[in-house]
Amino acid sequence: MKVFKFGGASINSVERIQNVGKILQSFSGEKILIIISAMGKTTNALEKVVDAFFEGRNDDALKLFEQVKEQHLNTLKYLTPLSWQQAENHLKDFFTEIEWLLHDKAVREYDYYYDQIVCSGELLSTAMMSDYLNEINIKNKWIDVRDIIRTDDNFRDAAIDWMYTQQKVTDIIEPLFNTVDIVITQGFIGATDENESTTLGREGSDYSAAIFANLLNAESQTIWKDVEGVMNADPKQFADATFIDALSYTEVIEMAYYGAQVIHPKTIKPLQNKNIPLHVRCFLQPELAGTIISNKTDHKLPPIIVVKDKQVLMELSSKDFSFVGENGISDLYELFATIKIKPNLTQTGAISILCCLDDRPDKIERLALAASELFDVQVKKDLTLLTIRHYTREKFDELTKDKTILLTQRTTETVQVLMY
């Protein structure tokens, strides 16, 4: 049993969807569970739908969603000429689910509606892929992952109910492999015990695949990307990014923790717990071996660079010039837990605390307002958080040249700089 995950870039056109079919044909006869992300930039498009709906612009939301519909239907007609009507009906079920919601008014928090709407991207892409594979005689079963993965109601960053999910995998997923070699389901999403859709965090499809790999005791998990394997930096940002052929679980989880987009931060633990190797391979050159991530010790690694834009620096200062101390810090972390936001970097002084956070405007506003009851609060936006693991002085100087540095933290292996 293998688990494959295909990201949005691997299915963003008719040709690339057909390419996935060719990759799967090369694994003929093997049992594979496939996790698929939303097609191309669909998640971004659906986020605009959410924004319009939540702002009360229902007509705009419906028009934006119509564009998503047309993109998928236009793609589908080239993929399933023999079974077009059946495949179209499959998609229409999900269209209806969203359109009913978009005619309502927002009465709950933004994150709830985000999950109900954005989850449709994965449902649409997997339905298309399943129908296409059946069209070319790669028999498979499509499963709505919301019937399998149970979560809490922490929308946009839901936690898994592992016992319930294990039971569903045993009862529903495993028997399917008695009749087909391929089972297709969605990444990124789950559902509460009240059947409300949830998501597992941005780029959470990697994590979904790891959940299934763990619960199915898979021999391996493979993430198919548009690069040769894991690079020491984002090749879209750094032309000199270099390929790394092998990494340890420890190194990758550190990279993910600091924000590297190659692997979702939660992906490694389910794999490491059962010593399941993770392969990162290129769907454009499937003959390449890619990167293998396992429990083996790392060899000498190049500087590993992670850049996170759209950062906020929140400075929280004592109102009466007293030490912030333990009480101030504990109060602040209670606010983080209540608002469900995590700092990327913190630094504590005698009378102030500095926090670097992702700029999620709704949560930043709530945090600043709540924190203002305890501290004097100042907020600075449009910042960049640079992290370099295994840094060298030369690389640090190169990447911070002509930048204004607001905050620095350094260990023997890792340096982080908040700058603009």
The tens digit of pLDDT for each residue in 235-287 reads 889 999 999 999 999 999 899 889 887 787 789 999 999 999 999 999 999 99
Which two tokens mark 407? 């905050």
**∠ CA 273-277-280, rounded to 5°:** 130
Coil, strand or helix: which one is 205? helix
Q: Tell me how far apart the alpha carbons of residues 154 and 149 are, in angstroms, rounded to a whole number.
A: 14
SS3 at position 351? coil
Locate the domains of the chain by residue range: 2-294, 304-419
2-294 CATH fold: Carbamate kinase (3.40.1160)
Contact 230, 247 (CB under 8 A): yes
Topology of the domain covering 304-419? VC0802-like (3.30.2130)
What long-range pairs does 94-99 form, CB within 8 A, spacing at least 24? 94/120, 94/123, 94/124, 94/127, 95/65, 95/69, 98/49, 98/65, 99/62, 99/65
Largest CA distance in the chain: 74
pLDDT at 319: 87
DSSP per-residue codes, 110-153? HHHHHHHHHTHHHHHHHHHHHHHHHHTT--EEE--GGGT-BB-S
The tokens for 395 are 């690389």
Instruction: Give the HSE-up count for residue 408: Cα atoms under 13 Å, Cβ half-sphere.
Output: 9
Q: 7 and 26 in contact (C-beta within 8 Å)?
A: no
Q: What sign does the CA torsion over 356, 362, 365, 369 have? A: negative
pLDDT for residue 297:
86
Q: How much is the pLDDT for 178?
A: 97
Question: Which positions of the chain have pLDDT values less than 70?
Answer: 326
* pLDDT at position 264: 77
Cβ distance 325 to 316 under 8 Å? Answer: no
CA dist 221 and 326 (Å) reads: 43
Can you give 308-347 as a three-state secondary structure string? EEEEEEEEEEECCCCCCHHHHHHHHHHHHHHHCCCCCEEE
Residue carrying structure tokens 């700058």: 419
Q: Please answer whether residues 291 and 279 qualify as being in contact, where contact means their C-beta atoms are separated by less than 8 angstroms.
A: yes
Cβ atoms of 408 and 320 closer than 8 Å: no
Task: Supply the pLDDT for residue 257.
Answer: 86
Give the model confidence (pLDDT) of 128-143 as tens digits. Answer: 999 999 999 999 999 9
Distance, in Å, from the CA atom of 91 to the CA atom of 341, rounded to the nearest integer, reads 34
Q: Which residues of 90-103 are buried (b: 16+ CB within 10 A; e: fewer)?
A: bbeebbeebeebbe
- pLDDT for the residue 201: 85
30 Cβ partners below 8 Å, 6+ apart?
A: 2, 181
Please determine whether the domains at 2-294 and 304-419 fall in the same fold group of CATH. Answer: no
- Can you point out the beta strands (E) in 188-344? 189-191, 197-199, 220-225, 230-231, 243-244, 246-248, 278-282, 291-294, 304-318
CA atoms within 13 A on the CB side of 161: 18
Tokens standing for 352?
């102030």
Please state whether beta strands 304-318 and 352-358 pair in parallel, antiparallel, or not at all (unpaired): antiparallel
d(CA 44, CA 68): 10
Of 105, 122, 121, nearest to 113 (Cα)?
A: 105
- Taken as a whole, the chain contains a residue count of 420
* Distance (Å, whole) CA 171 – CA 226: 35
